[in-house]
């Protein structure tokens, strides 16, 4: 059973990445901007986050926790900055959201290599010696027999999603800004006709999506791998998109979807020895998030309803 505990602890890690990135997608799409560039935004987060942790933590000697925290912050900020390209293209110039998202993903790969040469003098990985936060074990939970392993040796940052989920829900559903953001994603004409400008709301939604995706990327390179390596995001941005769809764009349901997909990622890594798992090729386990999403989308199980105006350029008169 401790294998299962180990699997859950890995699942927590993936969950954190998928959840935060998915949350980013949620803010963007609830404001009406489809964001398939999450993967690219995450990539920028990985390289800048790694640099932040290395530069502040090791080079300037700020140590722990300041170094890793600076890394996470830098990933967040750079994710948001990079997302501004998506906002400029889709909100200001009203070009197709999918095209812009594809370009974001394409450019991110090159930009990450470019930044890596600037930061580390080499294109595909960071310098060693990057600090990370002290790992924690969650009191009580970690002493459960057999399952305790799930709550030991975790990065404290895995608690972050649990800290933000309720505030995010509250902001979306109980504040003026949340109401306006959602209205922009459902019917921007209604928003504008009541004197509320749509473009700033959508800019904010997209920037927040970049911040969350960048933060998730930084968490991956700073806290999990302790290094930047090209290609380390492994398509998690797309899995986050899948989780977002499965959650029906709801921050609370997103937790379940993200954990489900996080666990799927953990299975081949931690449960390889289980007889059932051994008989299934690892690659087929890896496909589960994608397959589940297709099945849901096709309406075979459940039903999802995206924000009505998501993906449509809003052609409000610009007076």
Partner 1 sequence: MAITATAPPAAGTGLKTRPEWLESAIGQGLALVLALVIALGLGSIIILLYGENPLDVYGSILRASTTDKDGPAWVLSAATPLIFSALAVSVCFKGGLFNIGVEGQYLVAMVTAAWAALHLGGLLPGPLLMWSVLLFGMLGGMAYAAVPGALKVKTGAHEVVTTIMMNGIAISLVAWALNNSLRYTNAPVGQNVDLRTNIFPANAKVPDLGHLFGYGPAPRLSWLFPLAVFAAAIVWFIVKRMRLGYEARAVGASAGSAQAGGIGIGSVQMKLFLISGALAGLVGMQQILVNNASTSTGGYLPQNYEATLGFTGIAVAFLGQNNPIGIVFAAIFWASLSRGESILPIETDMPREFVIILQGILIMSVVITYTLAKRRLERRQTGRVLAEEEIVAAQSAPALEGTTT
Partner 2 sequence: MGDIGRAGREGAPPFVVLEGITKRFPGVVANDDVSLELRPGEVHALIGENGAGKSTLMRILYGMYPADSGRIVIRGEEVRIHSPRDAIARGIGMVHQHFVLVDPFTVAENVILGDEGGAVLQHDESERKVKELADTYGFQIDPHATVEDLSVGEEQRVEILKALYRGVEILILDEPTAVLTPAETSDLFENLRRLRADGKSIVFISHKLDEVLEIADRITVLRRGAVVGETTPAATSKAKLAEMMVGRPVLFRLERPEVEIGEPVLRLEDLTGGRLHGLSLDVRAGEIVGVAGVEGNGQRDLADVVMGLRPLESGRILLDGEDLASRSTAEIRNAGLGFVPEDRHEQGLVLGMTLWENLLLGRQDDPPFVKRGILSLRTIKDLARKLVRLFDVRARSVDVTAGALSGGNQQKLILARELETDPKLLLAAQPTRGLDVGAIEFVWSQILEQKAAGRGVLLISAELDEIYALSDRILTLYEGTITGEYPPSAPAEEVGRGMLGDVAVRGVG
Interacting residue ranges for partner 2, rule: CB under 8 A: 174-177, 179-180, 182-183, 186-187, 189-196, 308, 317, 319
- Work out how close the CB of 69 gets to partner 1 at its nearest, in angstroms, rounded to a whole number: 28
195 or 275, CB closer to partner 2?
A: 195
- Chosen from partner 2, partner 1, none, partner binding at 269 (C-beta under 5 to 8 Å by type): none
Give dist(CA 249, CA 247) in Å, integer. Answer: 5
Give dist(CA 207, CA 49) in Å, integer. Answer: 17
Question: For residue 125, what are the β-bridge partners?
Answer: 229
Any idea which residue has 């990370």 for tokens?
132
- Chosen from partner 2, partner 1, none, partner binding at 257 (C-beta under 5 to 8 Å by type): none
Size of the site for partner 1 (CB under 8 A): 43
CA dihedral 275, 281, 285, 290 (to 10 degrees): -160
DSSP letters for 59-110: IS---TTHHHHHHHHHHHHHHHHHHHHHHIIIIIS---HHHHHHHHHHHHHH
The encoded tokens of residue 207 equal 């920037």
Give dist(CA 166, CA 160) in Å, integer. Answer: 11
Using CB under 8 A as the binding rule, whether residue 289 contacts partner 1 is answered as yes
Q: Which of 1, 2, 59, 93 binds partner 1 (CB under 8 A)?
A: 93
Most distant CA pair in the chain: distance in Å?
A: 66
- Work out how close the CB of 150 gets to partner 1 at its nearest, in angstroms, rounded to a whole number: 26
Handedness of CA 288, 290, 295, 301 (dihedral sign): positive
Give dist(CA 98, CA 104) in Å, integer. Answer: 10
- Chosen from partner 1, partner 2, none, partner binding at 193 (C-beta under 5 to 8 Å by type): partner 2
- Chosen from partner 2, partner 1, none, partner binding at 166 (C-beta under 5 to 8 Å by type): none
Using CB under 8 A as the binding rule, whether residue 111 contacts partner 1 is answered as yes
- Work out how close the CB of 298 gets to partner 2 at its nearest, in angstroms, rounded to a whole number: 20
Using CB under 8 A as the binding rule, whether residue 102 contacts partner 1 is answered as yes
Give dist(CA 165, CA 23) in Å, integer. Answer: 9
Beta carbons of 209 and 36 less than 8 angstroms apart? no
112-120, 139-147, 205-213, 214-222 -> range binding partner 1 (CB under 8 A): 112-120
- Work out how close the CB of 132 gets to partner 1 at its nearest, in angstroms, rounded to a whole number: 27
153 or 302, CB closer to partner 2?
A: 302
Using CB under 8 A as the binding rule, whether residue 162 contacts partner 1 is answered as no
Give dist(CA 230, CA 136) in Å, integer. Answer: 28
Using CB under 8 A as the binding rule, whether residue 166 contacts partner 1 is answered as no
C-alpha distances in angstroms, 61 versus 132, 134, 176, 281?
13, 16, 43, 45
Using CB under 8 A as the binding rule, whether residue 308 contacts partner 1 is answered as no
Cβ neighbors of 174 (< 8 A, separation 6 or more) are none
Using CB under 8 A as the binding rule, whether residue 290 contacts partner 1 is answered as yes
Q: Which of 4, 58, 81, 107 binds partner 1 (CB under 8 A)?
A: 107
Binding site for partner 1 (CB under 8 A): 34, 36, 85, 89, 93-96, 98-100, 102-103, 105-107, 109-111, 113-114, 117, 123, 235, 238-239, 241-242, 245, 281, 283-284, 286-287, 289-291, 293-294, 297-300
């Amino acid at each position: 059973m401790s294998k299962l505990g180990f699997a859950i602890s890995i699942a927590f890690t993936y969950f954190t990445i998928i959840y935060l990135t998915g949350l980013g997608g949620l803010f963007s799409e609830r404001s009406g901007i489809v964001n398939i560039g999450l993967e690219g935004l995450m990539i920028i987060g990985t390289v800048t986050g790694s640099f932040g942790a290395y530069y502040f933590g090791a080079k300037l000697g700020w140590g722990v926790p300041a170094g890793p925290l600076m890394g996470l912050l830098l990933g967040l900020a750079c994710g948001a900055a990079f997302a501004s390209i998506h906002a400029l293209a889709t909100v200001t110039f009203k070009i197709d959201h999918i095209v812009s998202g594809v370009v974001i993903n394409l450019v991110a790969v090159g930009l990450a290599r470019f930044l890596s040469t600037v930061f580390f003098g080499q294109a595909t990985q960071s310098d060693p010696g990057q600090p990370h936060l002290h790992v924690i074990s969650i009191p009580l939970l970690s002493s459960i027999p057999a399952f305790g392993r799930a709550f030991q040796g975790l990065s404290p940052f895995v608690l972050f999603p649990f800290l933000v989920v309720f505030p995010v829900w509250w902001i979306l559903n109980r504040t003026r800004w949340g109401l306006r953001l959602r209205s922009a994603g459902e019917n921007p004409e209604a928003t504008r006709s009541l004197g509320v400008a749509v473009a700033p709301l959508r800019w904010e939604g997209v920037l927040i999506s970049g911040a969350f995706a960048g933060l998730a990327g930084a968490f991956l390179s700073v806290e999990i791998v302790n290094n930047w390596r090209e290609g380390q995001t492994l398509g998690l941005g797309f899995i986050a998109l899948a989780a977002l769809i499965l959650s029906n764009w709801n921050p609370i349901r997103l937790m379940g979807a993200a954990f489900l997909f996080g666990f799927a990622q953990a299975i081949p890594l931690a449960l390889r020895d289980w007889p059932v798992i051994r008989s299934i090729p690892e690659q087929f386990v890896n496909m589960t998030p994608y397959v589940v999403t297709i099945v849901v989308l096709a309406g075979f199980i459940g039903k999802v309803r995206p924000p009505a105006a998501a993906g449509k350029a809003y052609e409000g008169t610009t007076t």
